[in-house]
Structure 1
């Protein structure tokens, strides 16, 4: 029988944490929560639901999750963000896996990204494959401060789903876009990645055309156009901020 450790990192996630943990308990034997000093009821709710909660000031997404992996008891870890939850098909697929004899070290799921409580089935938002179930004895998260992922060469994708309550509204999306683009620039400046003055425009235009035309945003009405546009803005800002660091040794958040 599969033994799985659930892992969630949190900061003021009282709105989401209950549904997230309740879905994890459908397939996990323990749940580890790494909390970044929340000021709401996140810790109380997680403790009530039987999770083992550890407090750790935020280290960045990759390092924070790897810190959590070190506290997991079992070889296989199922990591969800607090605003995610397993859908019924994912629960069934996980229960059916023979993880002891698996030829893979990582499994990805299709993520349903919701916006205004509506599943966005176009742009890069679907199918949005995310690696969530992995063998911690073989793989770890990347050390990226943002947009971390499980680094694996022996992975496969399941057809089942994780539900993701990604953004509350456009204001929330813009706020996170600004935050993530800054962190991308800082990560890549550390890696000494060089960009040209054309990089922001070319990447931004490419992201819009990909999302709106190739990924079907054109068929999703106002949300499809706006999400494509904001994805393009996010891509533009990542490279503009990296260029800013290279030219002026600084970036504004």
Structure 2
């Protein structure tokens, strides 16, 4: 018995869900899908693959994932996004873990991020460690709307890979960028953060220089430039939207 549960959150992931679940079933013996009322065939395909589907209106990245944990049969849980897969080295690494005696409560893996079918090795996209295998009795997801992660300081990094098919087009990237920047601004506002009129520009500029120059994004050619511009735009918008939220709050007083 594998004694690992799988966890995936979905919304209209018809094109990805079967490959994702097939990948996870290599090391998991049960999988929970928390779906935000998909309008395509995601739910039907997930159930056909043998997953338990929980329907839940989207609560944000962290809370949405946490909803699924009580439904996972085992204390060790592997969490993937629908556009992610286990690489062969990750399957082997997980099978070699002694879950009964490990001193760790979570494990991190390297992530190979693909854009338009091409593995991006620079611009901060590799090795891109992500914490995805954890003991649910000892830790949980950070309760934030965007880019949540397992809250744990007691973890190990393994030299194994998740394969991540990020975006099929620049249009898709920019659409998600807009949503992510809004959620990030809301998180900052909720925690009482403020920004000066210069914050959007300086954060955007710093982000571009960091990823294009110091993270060698220029080595990825046009894709690298696109990624770095997207990152800097997201940073700019996050703080611009934060300022907008404060302005709206003042007007309502």
Distance 2:222 2:19 in 1: 30
CA distance in 2 between partners of 1:30 and 1:2 (Å): 9
Q: TM-score, normalised by structure 2?
A: 0.96
Matching residue of 1:196: 196
Measure, in 1, the Cα distance between the counterparts of 2:180 and 2:125.
Answer: 16
Aligned partner of 1:176 in structure 2 is: 176
Instruction: Note the C-alpha offset of 1:2.
Output: 4.8
Q: Per the alignment, in what secondary structure is the counterpart of residue 124 of structure 1?
A: coil
Unaligned runs of at least 5 residues, structure 2: none
Tell me whether 1:79 sits opposite 2:79 in the alignment: yes
Q: Is the 8 A contact 1:2 1:98 kept in 2?
A: no
Supply the distance in 2 between the matched residues of 1:2 and 1:199 (Cα, whole angstroms): 49
Matches within 5 A, 1:54-203: 54-203=54-203
Give CA-to-partner distance per residue, 1:134-191, whole Å, 9 cap, x none.
0000000011011111111101221111111111111111100000000001111111
User: Aligned partners of 1:224, 1:246: CA distance in 2, in Å?
Assistant: 34
Distance in 1 between residues matched to 2:249 and 2:128, nearest whole Å: 34
**Runs of 5+ consecutive residues of structure 1 not aligned to the other structure:** none
In structure 1, C-alpha distance between the alignment counterparts of 2:23 and 2:208, rounded to whole Å: 34
Please state whether the residue corresponding to 2:7 is helix, strand or coil: strand
Aligned residue in 2 for 1:21:
21
**1:249 Cα offset (Å):** 2.8
Post-superposition CA distance 1:48-98 (Å, at most 9, x none): 111111111111111110001121111100000011111101000000111
CA contact (8 A) 1:174 1:230 kept: yes
Coordinate RMSD, CA, aligned? 1.2
Tell me the alpha carbon deviations over residues 171-217 of structure 1, each in whole angstroms, 9 at most, x when there is no partner. 11110000000000111111111222222112111111111111111
